[in-house]
Amino acid sequence: MGAITEAEWRYNQLIKQFPSEAEPPFEDSEQLEKWWGRDWGCTNDVGRLRVVLMHRPGEEVNIVDISKRLDNNAFGDVQTGWYWRGTEGPDLKRMQAQHDAYTAVLRAEGVEVVYLDEIGDSRMKSCYTRDSCVAVGGGAIVTRLGPRMRRGEERAVTRTLARLGCPILRTISGSGIFEGGSFAWLNRKTAVVGLSSRVNEEGARQVEEVLRSQGVELIKVTLTGYRLHIDGLFVMIAPDLALANITLLPFWFLERLDQLGIRLIETHHEDDISIINALAVAPYRLIMPEGVSGYTRDRLDLHGVEVITVPYDKMISGGGGLHCSTAPLIRDEA
């Protein structure tokens, strides 16, 4: 090798004066506001909700053909991949009315509601935006949805996040499957994912890789049977409080919650099964679907939880509740 030239020497002296800077990290609030316009992302599930991604149900649900009955409680087409639970097909007008009422409540709470850009043809589950996007520190992870009828929802989410200027920190790829309804923040440094037919080990590993770079531990809970998402069993209400169906959560996870100082309000047998699929808009302030038993309502009152209930049965009939219908993009620290 030859001796260094004078030009190379001068270049090296210049570069030494302008080093790369790894700190502060990408997700630093000041850096995000300076370069991305807003302090994007969430590191909890209960801080004041500022921005949420949603989709008003539309003509895509008309793919449901009630002549194609699978059994007494579902319709579907195995070949094309769609299914609809319930004894009746979708009532689009009432679904839209309930969705509109929900977004009105959110706006009244000071939440900015952002709608998805144009969705793909027949993506009939697009109104359940929680599954296609997970907000973490500094931005969002675009997931990879499991069943055939949901594949492709990721494109509309990606376009919308890009339009908003929200950083996309990861897109689940390869053979990974991950749906946001099975992800929850427990505190700023701890999250949980429910492994199921909709979240496999590879999908969880890819999310864990992003979280690890931010110093966050990802707890993995294997759900029982064909349960899809952990948000049907567990939802955070405040930094130290959650609503849970403890009969369907493993003992070791309940013990871990106790170690983290998270108290549990147990659901009652008189509750509608959809009530856990609720949304905290601020600590101790919860939007729930109708169907809360007097017992659970009393427990919530005793813990100082303010509850807003909205009718949502027609939206729930499509397979998702209030929690499923929202993908938070910005929350305050809890």
Tell the residue number behind the tokens 């679904």, with chain if given.
95
| H helix or E strand, kind and range, residue 242 | strand 241-244
Residue-wise pLDDT tens digits, 26-46: 999 999 999 999 999 999 999
In this model, does residue 109 exceed pLDDT 80? Answer: yes
Q: Which tens digit of pLDDT belongs to each residue from 203-245?
A: 999 999 999 999 999 999 999 988 889 999 999 999 999 999 9
Q: What is the pLDDT of residue 1?
A: 58
Residue 2 confidence (pLDDT) above 80:
no
Give 19-28's long-range contacts (Cβ < 8 A, gap of 24+): 25/138, 25/214, 26/138, 26/167, 27/137, 27/138, 27/139, 27/214
- pLDDT above 90 for 72: no
pLDDT at residue 116 above 70? yes
For residue 134, give the nearest of 198, 84, 80, 81 by alpha carbon: 198
Taking the CA atoms of 130, 135, 141 and 142 in sequence, report the sign of the dihedral they define. Answer: positive
Phi-psi region of 284 (alpha: psi -120 to 50; beta: other; left: phi over 0): left
Give me the long-range contacts of 23-27 (CB less than 8 A, separation at least 24): 25/138, 25/214, 26/138, 26/167, 27/137, 27/138, 27/139, 27/214
Tokens standing for 320? 């998702």
Answer whether residue 114 shows pLDDT above 70: yes
> Of 58, 68, 66, 82, nearest to 148 (Cα)?
82
Query: Does position 248 have pLDDT exceeding 70, yes or no?
Result: yes
Distance (Å, rounded) from C-alpha 188 to C-alpha 332?
11
For 161-195, the pLDDT digits (tens) are 999 999 999 999 999 999 999 999 999 999 999 99
Burial of 241 (0-12, 13-18, 19+ CB in 10 A): buried
Handedness of CA 291, 295, 296, 298 (dihedral sign): positive
pLDDT above 90 for 56:
yes
Q: Name the pLDDT band for 85 (thresholds 50, 70, 90).
A: confident
Task: Indicate whether 73 pLDDT > 90.
Answer: no
Q: How far is it, in rounded angstroms, from Cα 183 to Cα 192? A: 6
Report domain extents, the chain.
24-331
**Distance from C-alpha of 136 to C-alpha of 152, rounded to nearest angstrom:** 22
Name the β-bridge partners of 135.
Answer: 140
The CATH label, of 3.40.50.2300, 2.40.30.10, 3.75.10.10, 3.30.365.10, for the domain at 24-331 is 3.75.10.10
What are the tens digits of pLDDT across the range 261-312?
Answer: 999 999 999 998 899 999 999 999 999 999 899 999 999 999 999 999 999 9
For 235, the token pair is: 């939802």
From residue 332, alpha-carbon distances to 48, 169, 291 in Å are: 5, 19, 29
